[in-house]
Amino acid sequence: MESRNQAMDRLVEQARARGANAVLAMRFDVTEAGGGNGTEICAYGTAAVISPVGG
């Protein structure tokens, strides 16, 4: 669970660095590495700027 949180934190950090205030279609990709000796967890999504309707 901690690894997923770290991957999500990095995703949010990268989105904010690009001026986004939202991440759309967020998902995780988990891959076993090194013959089962490790796991790679990646978080993917689309950085977006969302504004209120009529604002």
What tens-digit pLDDT sequence spans the chain (55 residues)? 899 999 999 999 999 999 999 999 999 999 988 777 888 999 999 999 999 998 5
Size of the chain in residues = 55
- Position 54 in a domain: no
- Position 38 in a domain: yes
Give the per-residue pLDDT at 44.
96
Rounded to 5°, angle at Cα 28 from 41 and 17? 85
Give the per-residue pLDDT at 45.
97
Give the per-residue pLDDT at 47.
97
Range(s) of the domain holding residue 17: 2-48
| Structural contact between residues 12 and 23, judged by C-beta atoms closer than 8 angstroms | yes
Please tell me what DSSP assigns to residue 21. Answer: S
Which amino acid, residue 8?
M
Phi first, then psi: give them for residue 41, nearest 5 degrees.
Answer: -120, 120
Closest listed residue to residue 10, CA positions, set 38, 44, 33, 46: 44
- Position 9 in a domain: yes
**Model confidence, pTM:** 0.80
Give the per-residue pLDDT at 33.
80
